[in-house]
């Protein structure tokens, strides 16, 4: 049985104790749940990889409580200072040259380390209580959808997970933006996220590059696996964030092309369809009532988790309008499926 901790002082003290003794604890963040361990305890971090089934070439993000914590792990620079002032605590991860103290396992042998100061109040309390840097990837089996509720974590890991800190549903629902600040003159977004590239560029006063999905998609998983060093973000394997049910991203007007009398298909519109449309089709779902992008982001993984457990044969989802979080949603969807509509039998 997984032991579940709440927000009371005694529970927090016990959860901190788990981490101090090399245990693994699922934790809430404002983005998605993470699978946390003491980042400087190599043995504990190895367990994270084992529980997730994550290849050792995929480095972990280290969560810290304050700037001093970040400074202990990474060689700080002016860009980091400006971005931390603007966006921390929050959904932004900074990749910086690592200091000796960080075990190579955590950074998958890279000379850089990813650090993030999360904003979730309960996780912040835990970070203060345990006074440790916490390595934490998203708390999902490797390649599967990220969890945005404690139930998702419990369902994915079952008995494998001994401890979970319950912080309720995650506020944002999409993983943090990862930005590489380790190359002089060349800041680059490695994973788009809630903090947009234009916001980062504005703060830095220099245009940030965006390592797009199309660039990663051109690289096969195998190539990424065999050629990790020097790759901007080894974790950006092509197929990622996927539900078990085949998922196809398709504009609504093309949905009929996928219909068949033998298939149960769930259809996800971006925005709630009108009554006429709803009465025409069954198994319709939507991400937002009125087009609010934060609501759409917040509910995306939760809905996919739910539909996955309902065992449809196929999930069709309309792309989000481009821009802001819509672009991030589309990027995640493009990685949640490597299936093209015409390859679905």
Residue 58 is a binding residue for ligand TXA (CB under 6 A): yes
Q: Are strands 188-191 and 112-116 parallel, antiparallel or unpaired?
A: unpaired
Residue 233 is a binding residue for ligand TXA (CB under 6 A): yes
Q: Least distance in Å: CB of 270 to ligand TXA?
A: 22
Show the site string, 263-302: x = touches ligand TXA by CB under 6 A, - = not: ----------------------------------------
Residue 133 is a binding residue for ligand TXA (CB under 6 A): no
The one-character DSSP state at 253 is G
**Residue 255, token pair as written in the block:** 């949905």
Of 50, 35, 33, 242, the C-alpha closest to 144 is 242
CB 98 within 8 A of CB 111: yes
341-345: list long-range contacts, CB under 8 Å, 24+ apart: 341/248, 341/250, 341/254, 341/257, 341/258, 344/246, 344/248, 344/258, 344/314
Of 236, 232, 234, 235, the C-alpha closest to 187 is 232
Q: Work out which of 25, 39, 60, 317 binds ligand TXA, going by CB under 6 A.
A: 60
Q: Which does 233 bind (CB under 5 to 8 A by kind): ligand TXA, Mg ion, none?
A: ligand TXA
If the CB atoms of residues 126 and 136 are measured against ligand TXA, the closer one turns out to be 136
Residue 138 is a binding residue for Mg ion (CB under 5 A): yes
For ligand TXA, which stretch binds (CB under 6 A), given 26-34, 64-72, 214-222, 291-299? 26-34
SS3 63: strand
If the CB atoms of residues 124 and 267 are measured against ligand TXA, the closer one turns out to be 124
Q: Least distance in Å: CB of 175 to ligand TXA?
A: 4
Q: Which residues of 266-280 are buried (b: 16+ CB within 10 A; e: fewer)?
A: bbbbbbbbeeeeeee
Instruction: Summarize as ranges the residues that interact with ligand TXA (CB under 6 A).
Output: 29, 31-32, 34, 58-61, 91, 93, 95, 107, 110, 112-114, 116, 136-138, 175-176, 178, 190-191, 233-236
């Amino acid at each position: 049985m997984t032991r579940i901790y709440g927000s009371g002082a005694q529970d927090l003290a016990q959860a901190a104790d788990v981490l101090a003794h090399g245990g693994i604890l699922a934790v809430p963040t404002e983005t998605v749940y993470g699978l946390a361990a003491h980042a400087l305890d190599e043995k504990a971090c190895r367990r994270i990889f084992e529980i997730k089934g994550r290849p050792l070439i995929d480095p972990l993000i280290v969560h810290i409580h304050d700037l001093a914590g970040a400074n202990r792990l990474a060689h700080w620079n002016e860009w980091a200072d400006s971005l931390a002032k603007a966006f921390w605590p929050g959904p932004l991860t900074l990749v910086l040259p690592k200091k000796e103290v960080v075990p190579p396992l955590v950074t998958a042998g890279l000379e850089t380390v990813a650090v993030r100061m999360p904003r979730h109040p309960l996780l912040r309390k835990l970070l203060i209580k345990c006074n440790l840097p916490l390595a934490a990837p998203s708390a999902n089996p490797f390649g599967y959808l990220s969890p945005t509720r404690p139930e998702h974590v419990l369902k994915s890991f079952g008995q494998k997970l001994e401890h979970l800190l319950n912080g309720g549903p995650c506020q944002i629902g999409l993983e943090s933006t990862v930005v590489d600040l380790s190359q002089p003159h060349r800041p680059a977004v490695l994973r788009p996220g809630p903090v947009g590239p234009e916001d980062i560029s504005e703060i830095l006063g220099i245009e940030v590059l965006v390592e797009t999905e199309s660039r990663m998609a051109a690289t096969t998983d195998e190539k990424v696996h065999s050629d990790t060093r020097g790759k901007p973000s080894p974790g950006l394997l092509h197929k990622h964030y996927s539900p078990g049910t085949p998922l196809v991203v398709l504009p609504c007007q093309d949905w009929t092309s996928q219909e068949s009398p033998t298939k149960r298909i769930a259809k996800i519109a971006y925005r709630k369809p009108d009554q006429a449309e709803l009465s025409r089709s069954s198994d319709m779902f939507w991400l937002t009532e009125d087009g609010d992008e934060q609501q759409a982001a917040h509910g995306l993984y939760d809905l996919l988790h739910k539909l996955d457990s309902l065992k449809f044969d196929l999930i069709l989802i309309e792309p989000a309008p481009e821009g802001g979080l819509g672009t991030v949603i589309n990027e995640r969807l493009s990685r949640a499926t490597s299936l093209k509509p015409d390859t679905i039998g």
